Amino acid sequence: MSNQKTIVTQEQIAHQYEYMQFISKMTAEKAQAYGHPLRAFTQTFGCQQNEADTQQIAGMLEEMGYEPADRAEDADVIVINTCAVREHAESRALGNVGALSHLKKARPDVTICLCGCMVQQEHIPEKIKKSYPQVDLVFGTHALWRFPELLYRSLTGDQRIFDTTGDASGYIAEGLPVLRDGGTKAWLSIMYGCNNFCTYCIVPYVRGRERSRASADIVRELEQLVSEGYKDITLLGQNVNSYGKDLEEQIDFSDLLEKLNAVSGDFLIRFMTSHPKDASHKLFDTMARCDKVAKQLHLPFQSGSDTILRRMNRGYTADHYRGLIAYAREKMPDITLSSDIIVGFPGETEEDFEQTRKLVEEVGFDMLFTFLYSKRSGTPAAKMEDDTPHAVKQARFERLLKTQDACVQARQDAYAGKRLRVLVDGHSKGTAYPLTARTEGGLLVCCAGDNLEIGTFAEVEIEKTSLRCLFGRSI
């Protein structure tokens, strides 16, 4: 299954830069005629990978002469990057596109683009063709690197453009521009796609097969980020524990962490997402040893029932998961743990659900992301019998939230009076604790006190706690 990916050649990338230059000339001429610069508005639904993709789109738009717009109403180009993981994200994206029809009527010149995971599904392009005539350009995840060419064709032709095909084995494209927001935090994609085919999940169908970037490219990008002043860098991949399996280079994710830890500078490395099937003791040993690797682990278990885990095709048992957590805590007693959970998977019984709830109680997570199962057409789970009434699933969901809130609050309370190293990263909404920061474990801290400066590390003492935030004063 591996090693089928297409590496986009430097020549092909250079070709895209040519399109960016063509468009840049066009935008400069128009800007002169209008008396103001052309603007682009981007909006992202979905995960961090999607946010990273949008930053690449924004980088290309900047290269093409567009300034960022805060509102769709002010923009000449609008790009909506969509998500397909749950139905809710899909309806929200489509709702927003629907609302743009007035704008398109008032200003037919505006170019509306729809991209990302949602449009990569088989039935979506037809739906957009029929019901959303305001959309000019639709491109899937596999066509992201060809955005300049597609936009050029859209701007210079009178046809709507749909490019949602592309080889499911996927592409690796290096050297495209990225526009980050310039704060302390940066995303760094280390791999794309997923090979796991969990039965509920659409991701492998819309993002293609697992493919890793060469470690030298990742190291180079990290060095660049550190030199630009980024201090909190999150490595991204659907399943980072599979990093390197498709490379000729003999390297796994732990080896990569070791290499990145050796880059000089004062910064933290986080990563997501890990899969319990592939998380190894070697990984936890490496995390414990590497001082720049945050002691934070997002390890989704999805369900505490072995029956459900099997039907989800997750490839581990609840006990295996318990073992991993125990080992991680043995090596890193202060580690911050988070997880994703799905409630209401087809056929989930009360007993299955109770096993999930008990696992939450038992582990004591610092953060949890709990989702109601959402049926995704084309996945194996969509064909499984699902006779649990929605109201029952909803009630379970709410019970689980109660359990998790109690557990999270207990974890938060345990920080009262403790001294923690944090990275100050922004302004809070409150006045008593006017700045925000993150602990090494990724917990949010609202801070007060002297000598606190955004973009620097500080020591704070925790004065009080709430479910979502710790409150600290600088020492």
302 binds ligand 5AD (CB under 6 A): yes
Sheet holding 268-272, edge to edge: 185-189, 232-236, 268-272
CB 408 within 8 A of CB 368: yes
CA angle 250, 228, 213 (to 5 degrees): 20
For 125, the 3-state DSSP assignment is: helix
376 binds ligand 5AD (CB under 6 A): yes
CB 38 within 8 A of CB 20: no
The binder of 238, among ligand SF4, ligand 5AD, none, by C-beta within 5 to 8 A per type, is ligand SF4
Q: What is the DSSP letter of 293?
A: B
The binder of 142, among ligand SF4, ligand 5AD, none, by C-beta within 5 to 8 A per type, is none
The pair of structure tokens assigned to 294 is 């945050």
Say which residue the tokens 């043995």 belong to.
330
CB 373 within 8 A of CB 346: yes
Helix spans in 228-297 (H): 253-261, 281-289
371 binds ligand 5AD (CB under 6 A): yes
Q: Which stretch binds ligand 5AD (CB under 6 A): 61-69, 124-132, 329-337, 373-381?
A: 373-381
The nearest distance, CB 372 to ligand SF4, in angstroms, is 15
CA angle 396, 400, 402 (to 5 degrees): 120
From residue 48 to residue 87, the character string flagging contacts with ligand 5AD as x (rule: CB under 6 A) and all else as - is -------------------------------------xx-
The nearest distance, CB 103 to ligand SF4, in angstroms, is 34
Number of residues binding to ligand SF4, judged by CB under 6 A: 10
From residue 334 to residue 353, the character string flagging contacts with ligand 5AD as x (rule: CB under 6 A) and all else as - is ------x-x-----------
CB atoms within 10 A of CB 394: 13
Q: Nearer Cβ to ligand SF4, position 19 or 271?
A: 271
373 binds ligand 5AD (CB under 6 A): yes
**CA–CA dist 71, 41 (Å, integer):** 6
Q: Which residues, in sequence order, are CB contacts of 191 under 8 Å at separation 6+?
A: 210, 211, 212, 213, 237, 238, 239, 240, 242, 243
From residue 222 to residue 241, the character string flagging contacts with ligand SF4 as x (rule: CB under 6 A) and all else as - is ----------------xx--
Residue number closest to ligand 5AD, CB atom: 340
Q: Which stretch binds ligand SF4 (CB under 6 A): 33-41, 200-208, 225-233, 455-463?
A: 200-208
List binders of ligand SF4 among 58-77 (CB under 6 A).
none
Nearest residue to 381 (alpha-carbon basis) of 209, 124, 197: 197
The nearest distance, CB 424 to ligand 5AD, in angstroms, is 29
452 binds ligand 5AD (CB under 6 A): no
Q: Nearer Cβ to ligand 5AD, position 345 or 471?
A: 345
374 binds ligand 5AD (CB under 6 A): yes
Rg (CA), the chain: 23
**CA–CA dist 77, 137 (Å, integer):** 10
**CA–CA dist 24, 31 (Å, integer):** 10
Residues forming a β-bridge with 339? 368
The binder of 306, among ligand SF4, ligand 5AD, none, by C-beta within 5 to 8 A per type, is none
The binder of 342, among ligand SF4, ligand 5AD, none, by C-beta within 5 to 8 A per type, is ligand 5AD
The nearest distance, CB 156 to ligand 5AD, in angstroms, is 38
CA-CA-CA-CA dihedral for 438, 279, 413, 342, to nearest 10: 100
The nearest distance, CB 210 to ligand SF4, in angstroms, is 9
List binders of ligand SF4 among 264-303 (CB under 6 A).
275
**CA–CA dist 188, 56 (Å, integer):** 11
**CA–CA dist 323, 318 (Å, integer):** 9
Q: Nearer Cβ to ligand 5AD, position 41 or 192?
A: 192
365 binds ligand 5AD (CB under 6 A): no
193 binds ligand 5AD (CB under 6 A): no
300 binds ligand 5AD (CB under 6 A): yes
Backbone angles phi, psi at 205, to 5 degrees: -80, -30
203 binds ligand SF4 (CB under 6 A): yes
Q: In whole angstroms, how far apart are CA 208 and each of 50, 173, 192, 270, 312?
A: 14, 14, 8, 24, 19
> Which residue among 196, 212, 296, 412 contacts ligand SF4 (CB under 6 A)?
196
Q: Which stretch binds ligand SF4 (CB under 6 A): 53-61, 97-105, 141-149, 189-197?
A: 189-197
Residue 217 half-sphere exposure, CB side, CA atoms within 13 Å?
Answer: 16
The nearest distance, CB 203 to ligand SF4, in angstroms, is 4
Which sign, positive or negative, has the C-alpha torsion 194, 197, 198, 200? positive
Give the footprint of ligand 5AD on this chain (CB under 6 A): 85-86, 200-201, 300, 302, 340, 342, 371, 373-374, 376
Give the footprint of ligand SF4 on this chain (CB under 6 A): 194, 196-198, 201, 203-204, 238-239, 275
